[in-house]
Amino acid sequence: MQQALIDGLAVSIDGRFRRIAQLSNEGYDFVDDPDRLGKAISAVGLRVDLLTFVQRIAEPEPKYTYHLEWDTLAVLPIENYEHWWKRQINDKTRNMIRKAQKKGVALRTMILDDELVREIKSIYDENPIRQGKRFKHFGKDLETLRRAHATYLDRSEFIGAFLEDQLVGFVKLVHQPGWSSLMQIISRISERDKAPTNALIAKAVEICAEKRIPRLQYGIWSRRGIGAFKEHHGFQAYRVPRYFMPLSLRGKLAISAGLHRPLITRVPEDWFDRIAGLRANLNSFRFRKSHH
């Protein structure tokens, strides 16, 4: 994958047969002038066949004429905290949030300093496997982690879940006009029985409600993996337009032939479940083997 700074935006370029450009921090940066960015990409001399981008969550109605498909995100509509607590989550989820309180999980806001980065590293290095996959942040050095978490600090909040003085989980909440996003949310596997992640989501909802932010996004919508966890906390499928703008003849042909999307997006969903299960078993075996 190739990285470039074009027209003030970080852009990633990937692919062999068709080279596709998209914003590196998609979902936090947005393309406000597609024609301008397309021309800027072409002007720097990089071989790019397609530019793909999404609209903001607060603007779900299509407004461009490029080839359009739909991305489905997990979004929680927020009226107020009480409505969420009484109407949008079930008894099991409420009990998990109460459980965190009874187990002594305390929540407080934090700033990104040396101590927090060290605590984050400790959580990340707990296990190289999460949700059956290799965890991308495992083993990263402190400076790399600092840079990764220093994005959008002017509109971010860090909330920590603590047991006494130990950080057992945290969320980075990024605010934008009309919605906020859970850019990162993670807890210690060893403290999962104390439900810190449930407590962190509840705190994020409370903050958004206080700020009168009507939507909270938590990644993509899927019934696989942690999809049920999101659904139990009131998140719903929410469609936003994704565009594919050809920048070359090859790009036009790719759209015509249906090759503008990665091959993996055309794999049947039940195959994903089988592949994910096999991958989880393989990664678990490799982890156990490396620790013997």
Where is pLDDT greater, at 182 or 279? 182
Identify the three-state secondary structure at position 105.
strand
Q: Which of 16-25, 128-137, 201-210 has the lowest mean pLDDT?
A: 128-137
Q: What pLDDT score was predicted for residue 259? A: 84
As a whole number of angstroms, the distance between CA 126 and CA 168 comes to 11
- Return all residues near 202 (Cβ < 8 A) that are at least 6 apart: 97
Give the model's confidence band at 222: pLDDT under 50 very low, under 70 low, under 90 confident, else very high: confident
Q: What pLDDT score was predicted for residue 130? A: 87
3.40.630.30, 3.40.50.1820, 1.10.10.10, 3.40.640.10: which CATH number matches 79-213?
3.40.630.30
As a whole number of angstroms, the distance between CA 186 and CA 171 comes to 7
Residues 138-188: tens digit of each pLDDT: 999 999 999 999 999 999 999 999 999 999 999 999 999 999 999 999 999
Q: What pLDDT score was predicted for residue 266? A: 55
Q: Are strands 9-14 and 67-77 parallel, antiparallel or unpaired?
A: unpaired
Give the model's confidence band at 280: pLDDT under 50 very low, under 70 low, under 90 confident, else very high: very low
How far apart, in Å, are the Cα atoms of 244 and each of 41, 112, 256, 288?
14, 36, 11, 43
Among 251, 221, 222, residue whose Cα is nearest residue 238 = 221
Residues 25-43: tens digit of each pLDDT: 999 999 999 999 999 999 9
Q: What pLDDT score was predicted for residue 269? A: 56
Q: Percent helix, strand, coil in the chain (nearest 5)?
A: 40, 30, 30
End-to-end Cα distance, the chain? 35
8 Å CB contact between 53 and 23: yes
Is 281 a residue whose pLDDT tops 80?
no
Indicate the pTM of the whole model. 0.87
Give the model's confidence band at 244: pLDDT under 50 very low, under 70 low, under 90 confident, else very high: very high
Is 260 a residue whose pLDDT tops 90?
no
Mean pLDDT of 117-127: 96
Domain ranges of the chain: 2-71+241-290, 79-213
Give, in degrees to the nearest 5, the angle at Cα 33 between 30 and 38: 100
DSSP state for residue 29 in the 8-state scheme: B
Mean pLDDT of 10-34: 94
Where is pLDDT greater, at 285 or 143? 143
- Return all residues near 268 (Cβ < 8 A) that are at least 6 apart: none
Is 289 a residue whose pLDDT tops 60?
no
Give the model's confidence band at 285: pLDDT under 50 very low, under 70 low, under 90 confident, else very high: low
Helix (H) or strand (E) holding 143: helix 142-149
Is 72 a residue whose pLDDT tops 80?
yes
Q: What is the DSSP string of 213-233?
A: --EEEEEE--SSTTHHHHHHT
Q: What pLDDT score was predicted for residue 235? A: 97
Cβ-based burial of 24 (10 A; exposed 0-12, middle 13-18, buried ≥19): middle
Q: Which residues pair with 158 in a beta bridge?
A: 110, 172
Phi/psi for 44 (5° steps) reads -80, -5
Is 205 a residue whose pLDDT tops 80?
yes
Phi/psi for 72 (5° steps) reads -115, 120
> Residue for token digits 């903001």?
56
Q: What pLDDT score was predicted for residue 278? A: 58
